[in-house]
Structure 1
Amino acid sequence: QEMPVWSEVPLDLLVSIGRCLNLIEDYLNFGSVCKSWHSVATKANFNNDLCRAPWLMLAEVEDNEVRKFFSLYNGMILNKRIPKASRKRCLESMGWLITVGEEGEISLLHPFSDVQIELPHQNTTVEYNEHQTGALTCFIGKAVLSTSPSHTSDYLLMVIDGGSRFLSFWRPGDIRWTRVKCEGIKYCSFTDMIFFNDQIYSVDYSGCLLVCDVADVVGPELTKCHILAQIPTEPQDMPEHLYILESLGSLFVVVRYGVKSRPPIREDSSRRISLTPIYPNDGTETYGTTNFGVFEVDLAAGKLRESKQVGDRALFLGANASISVQASQFPGVKPNHIYYTDDFVESYLFYEEGGGRDMGVYNIANGSFEPHYNGVSLSRVCPPIWVTPTLY
């Protein structure tokens, strides 16, 4: 019996096969069979609107413009040359990278199509000289798009910026960043934010959940912003890092502990990677996540309820826009788990190797940890981050 000649499969049949594939990993493998299959593996023949499980973009290897992307689904490593991201810190939202360079330049970059959108320099933010960071690459702490630039030019990019962690935004056509000034609220040091139902929800380091209308933010007057809820914690358990995300129509606030410099504990002995402190501390200080707290937001009551069960959800946290996926739709992703990366700049910059050690998978139900990537990927400029893969 003769072996089939895959290059001779009719193109209309290939298109039909391609449109049946829901995982982008399978689609990329489909396009690598031969030239005729590759010619069919275009954006037009792939359902690009389906939800995607993020890939882990590994740290940049010095003097190498190729970035590696790790898939939880099949352990596949995809190599992609991205010279425009070289020597830049990367954040992520909706499959786009927000890159911040060593000279303070900022851009939006789509890693798989190489489309780049130049943004105003960080020195166009309000009172820049008073709030700039020591390392200019660390000026932006978080970045979230209102909608994808792949689909429209009518979008908003919100960022948390400066050493004081203000909220600012940019719209296409703007020549500078605009600071969000909240009426009646003197000062907040923000950690994360999200667009949800024409409103912007944000959390700050004191554990406050704040809300304001998008229309107010972009309007000429002071933004009417109010505190919706407060994380219910004891004084000795103040949040160290916080995230906010939407999942299946509900909002969740996640609190992360252990990321600040602290004395070692017994569990630290299980960490696989040893780091070299820039300032020797005789082993008296370290950092690394010790646990998470997950709170579901009751918008009607203005309260946060802690939960050990989030059902079929898997949460992805780090320097990416915080998101969740339905685990049952993605082989290799576990429900009721948090997939996190090393994003606490204030800690990892005190080590010669930089960040990338403090990442893994956290079981929300029983508090256990396991790795999601078994290799070593460290960087002082851009540690590994989650990137949602889109063709464009």
Structure 2
Amino acid sequence: MVDEKVAVTVPLLMLAEKEENADTREFFDVVKGVTYTANFPELARILCLGVGIPGWLFTVDANRNMNLFHLNSRSIIELPHMNTLKGFDLDKHRGYLECYVDKVVLSSDPHTTDGYILMINQGGPRTLTYWKPGKKGFISVETRKAAYADVTWHGGELFVITRDGIETNPETKLYGVEEFIVGKVDVDNESYEKVDDLGNRPLFLGFSASLAVEQYGCKANHIYFMNDCTLTFDSSEKGDGKDMDVYNLFDNTIEPHYAGESYHRFSPPIWIFNTPNFSD
């Protein structure tokens, strides 16, 4: 599910961490085709996920300490430890943390309000949990047992995106996306319809809260995506970073939005929607 957002900056692709220089991160501008470099020792050897609010990242270190980090101000908000998540077992989940914390989303900017809510989609145990400032731990949301494809705070229109693909091609031995299907849900009339025209909005999907944004130099009616199927890339030698492409909703064609390689086992590329203070 994705939410219509307004007044966001041009999306940047924060590339995967480089093993030889973990303190430095690269940011690719998909509109200008330019790569910027900035020093972020705070993100070295850290799992990072986008949260849908420009500038903010959700981070987890090797000791399972969780924080919110802002790329511009470098503010850090300490969150309750991962052991406060319902059902979390360090020994059991050590090998597939990426599946356990699947998607993270913020309701609003912590710089502007203390009344925000952080929600986590726990992919492994298939549960939802949230945290509010002042709480000592995360609070589980009791819902039916199900695998949630995404979590977001939704506005006037609610979209559901289906990603069709294959785990392993019998000929190429590779996994990947083959087709996206976008549908719009009318919650009042309890109806669903397939849509191919998003107006002037592209969609951005991946290891971030999904966003539908105004064009800002990007291609309308296209899906800018990265692979987020942890079950497939977990067995890959390189890790994640394979699918960094653009899908055309009109003719179902796929072309790359980033031509280079950027793979990592636990810190793959993610979308961000602001501009850090780059160094030359």
Instruction: Mark yes or no: TM-score above 0.5.
Output: yes
Count of matched residue pairs: 268
Are 2:17 and 1:60 equivalent residues in the alignment? yes
Contact residue 57 and residue 384 of structure 1 kept, 8 A: yes
2-side partners of 1:190 and 1:133: how far apart?
21
Are 2:271 and 1:386 equivalent residues in the alignment? yes
CA shift for structure 1 position 141: 0.3
Partner of residue 192, structure 1: 150
The RMSD of aligned alpha carbons is 2.0
2-side partners of 1:92 and 1:263: how far apart?
29
2-side partners of 1:308 and 1:59: how far apart?
31
Q: 1:316 aligns with which of 189, 198, 204?
A: 204
Give deviations 1:136-178, integer Å, cap 9, x for gaps.
3543100010101121111000001251221000111222111
Partner of residue 87, structure 1: 45
Counterpart AA for 1:115: S
The structure showing larger relative contact order (alpha-carbon pairs under 8 Å, at least 6 residues apart) is 2
Are 2:223 and 1:335 equivalent residues in the alignment? no
Are 2:252 and 1:294 equivalent residues in the alignment? no
Partner of residue 240, structure 2: 355
Q: How does 1:263-278 map to 2 (within 5 A)?
A: 263-264=169-170
Are 2:12 and 1:106 equivalent residues in the alignment? no
Contact residue 295 and residue 305 of structure 1 kept, 8 A: yes
Counterpart AA for 2:70: H
Secondary structure in 1 aligned to 2:128?
strand
1-side partners of 2:68 and 2:8: how far apart?
21
Q: 1:175 aligns with which of 132, 136, 153?
A: 136
Q: 2:33 aligns with which of 61, 70, 75?
A: 75
Contact residue 146 and residue 157 of structure 1 kept, 8 A: yes
2-side partners of 1:99 and 1:162: how far apart?
16
Contact residue 106 and residue 122 of structure 1 kept, 8 A: yes
CA shift for structure 1 position 351: 1.1
Contact residue 101 and residue 136 of structure 1 kept, 8 A: no
Q: 1:120 aligns with which of 80, 84, 102?
A: 80
User: % of aligned pairs identical?
Assistant: 37
Gaps of at least 5 residues in structure 1 are 1-48, 198-248, 266-282
Give the alignment's TM-score, normalised by structure 1. 0.65
Give the alignment's TM-score, normalised by structure 2. 0.89
Secondary structure in 1 aligned to 2:89?
helix
Contact residue 100 and residue 125 of structure 2 kept, 8 A: no
CA shift for structure 1 position 303: 1.8
Contact residue 57 and residue 68 of structure 1 kept, 8 A: yes
Partner of residue 3, structure 2: none
Structure 1 residues 83, 139: closer, same or farther in 2, change over 3 A?
farther
2-side partners of 1:150 and 1:390: how far apart?
16
1-side partners of 2:123 and 2:182: how far apart?
27
Contact residue 204 and residue 210 of structure 2 kept, 8 A: yes
Contact residue 87 and residue 125 of structure 2 kept, 8 A: no
Are 2:259 and 1:374 equivalent residues in the alignment? yes
Contact residue 123 and residue 147 of structure 2 kept, 8 A: no
The structure where helix makes up a greater share of residues is 1
Counterpart AA for 2:142: K
Gaps of at least 5 residues in structure 2 are 1-5
1-side partners of 2:117 and 2:275: how far apart?
19
Partner of residue 157, structure 2: 250
Contact residue 204 and residue 211 of structure 2 kept, 8 A: yes
Q: 1:163 aligns with which of 112, 117, 124?
A: 124
Contact residue 54 and residue 389 of structure 1 kept, 8 A: yes
Contact residue 88 and residue 137 of structure 1 kept, 8 A: no
Contact residue 71 and residue 276 of structure 2 kept, 8 A: no
Larger radius of gyration: 1
Structure 1 residues 159, 179: closer, same or farther in 2, change over 3 A?
same
Secondary structure in 2 aligned to 1:98?
strand
Structure 1 residues 355, 391: closer, same or farther in 2, change over 3 A?
closer
Partner of residue 17, structure 1: none
Structure 1 residues 308, 261: closer, same or farther in 2, change over 3 A?
same
2-side partners of 1:70 and 1:125: how far apart?
34
Contact residue 104 and residue 136 of structure 1 kept, 8 A: no
Give deviations 1:183-204, integer Å, cap 9, x for gaps.
xx3x12222112135xxxxxxx
